[in-house]
Amino acid sequence: MPVDPDFHALLGLPGFELRPPPPGMGAAGLRAALAASPLPPVAKEVLHEVRDLAVRGAETTLRARLYRPVAASDLPVVAFFHGGGFVLCDLETHDPLCRSLARASGCALVSVEYRRAPETRFPGPLEDCYAAAADLATRAAELGIDPARMAVCGDSAGGTLAAVVAILARDRGGPALAYQVLINPATDLAGESASAREFAEGHLLTGEMMRWFHECYLGDPRQAADPHASPLRAPDLAGLPSATVITSECDPLRDEAEAYAHRLRAAGVPVVARRYLGMLHGFLSMPYVTPVAARAIADIGLDLRAALEA
């Protein structure tokens, strides 16, 4: 199936495709330029509570944002890690998506602003996410959440981080995770799949941009083969929490994400894998473009409700 017609106008706009910054701009300059770019308005879900808080990171305190869809205490909780190639995005860019996920799932959701590359390289952002998830579990009573019903979730690079946080939680003896939601995750920074070649140009996320993200994230390109950078290369996936893996048909990351879903199944992990036809990378954050974004969020919400009994 070709790209959904809803995206045709956007793909024709100058600068819509993601490209590395020009020489001299760097990651910080690109972040500033993107922050200054006008974005289409996105309706924000009205929730019972949305408030900023601090959580523990690997080396410093991190900004986070708590979303509570209802007033009830002891809600299931989702630790959310934003995308952006380990380099871009923050609490604000993903605020509408986090609100929608909290509403759809009935769970409290905590979005974590981990340290970004290249200022903090691998494994720093990953260790931040793990430390934050562990911190949430220890502060359950304070935050009104149930640590026995905890999930991790992330999109794109955040999906990579969520996948590896689940592995670390298994290997380090906690926190106990009941579910993981991986949305368009990168799972193999050392390889190049068929979809990475097929959709390297003309489909929003370019191969050139992916290579730049990886260069920013990794201090040494050989680290791409580390299973904590590329979870598809983990030798053992048994004992991980059940998963939802979301992929987009026209996404360079599609094949490696689906390969990870297959590896999880082969290891005995229950998996719900959904490929959304005609969609581009990051479509869940584009409800102003496609109604499929709302459908996918509703699907994830139902998965989380079923898994966490929200």
CA–CA distances in Å: residue 52 to residues 68, 70, 111: 12, 17, 9
Residue with the two structure tokens 């996936």? 237
The token pair at 110 is 């905590």
Spatial CA neighbour of 166 closest among 185, 155, 181, 156: 181
Q: Where are the alpha helices (DSSP H) in the chain?
A: 8-11, 26-36, 95-105, 124-138, 140-143, 157-172, 194-198, 207-217, 254-266, 292-308
Q: Which residues neighbour 20 within 8 Å (Cβ) at sequence distance 6 or greater? A: 30, 208, 209, 212
Options 128, 135, 251, 303, the catalytic residue: 251
Spatial CA neighbour of 297 closest among 62, 61, 105: 105
The token pair at 123 is 């494994």
The token pair at 236 is 């053992």
Strand partners, 244: 181, 272
Q: Which 3 state secondary structure label does DSSP give 51?
A: strand
Options 195, 281, 285, 303, the catalytic residue: 281
281 is annotated as an active-site residue? yes
Q: How many CB atoms lie within 10 A of CB 270?
A: 12
Options 111, 156, 193, 195, the catalytic residue: 156
Which residues belong to the active site?
156, 251, 281
